[in-house]
Amino acid sequence: MIIKHLSEHKTFWFLTALGWTIFVAFTCLINSNDLPSIEIEVIGIDKIIHFLFHFIFTLLWSIYYFSKEKKVTQKRLTTIVIISLLFGIIIEWLQASFTLTRQADVLDIIFNSGGAILAGLIVYLTLKKYPIANT
């Protein structure tokens, strides 16, 4: 039922996915000295954030394409995951090349990939379990 209602709001989902994409790019490229400091020191919080950025990125773009096309094919879902992976790699390259307070990190790319792949898998399994939502 919820999945069918997603298709009624394609403009909302497009703007949400686009907004999230811009937010991720901005957050990853802004001068790190301008970011608020987190009082709680959590080991690996940076990696968790990278994972969540790309997990949400993949979910939002999948929801948008579902709302637009009334389905998300395996090919479309694979494309969304690959775009998320490439987006993460480009962000890391931009950090290394054009920022003074950020640096590229292979572990960030690994966690970006994990978030994108897990979200893609969840979308795939959800649509496989509820095939009526993907027709």
Has residue 115 got a pLDDT over 80?
yes
Residue 66 or residue 117, greater confidence: 117
Burial class (CB in 10 A: 0-12, 13-18, 19+), 98: exposed
Q: Cα 94 to chain center, whole Å?
A: 18
Question: Cα(80)–Cα(124) distance, rounded to whole angstroms?
Answer: 12
pLDDT the model gives residue 103 = 81
pLDDT the model gives residue 79 = 96
Residue 62 or residue 99, greater confidence: 62
Give me the torsion for CA of 66, 68, 70, 71, rounded to 10°: -40
pLDDT the model gives residue 70 = 80
Residue 43 or residue 122, greater confidence: 122
Has residue 132 got a pLDDT over 70?
no
Can you say whether residue 6 is alpha, beta or left, with left for phi > 0 and alpha for psi between -120 and 50 degrees? alpha
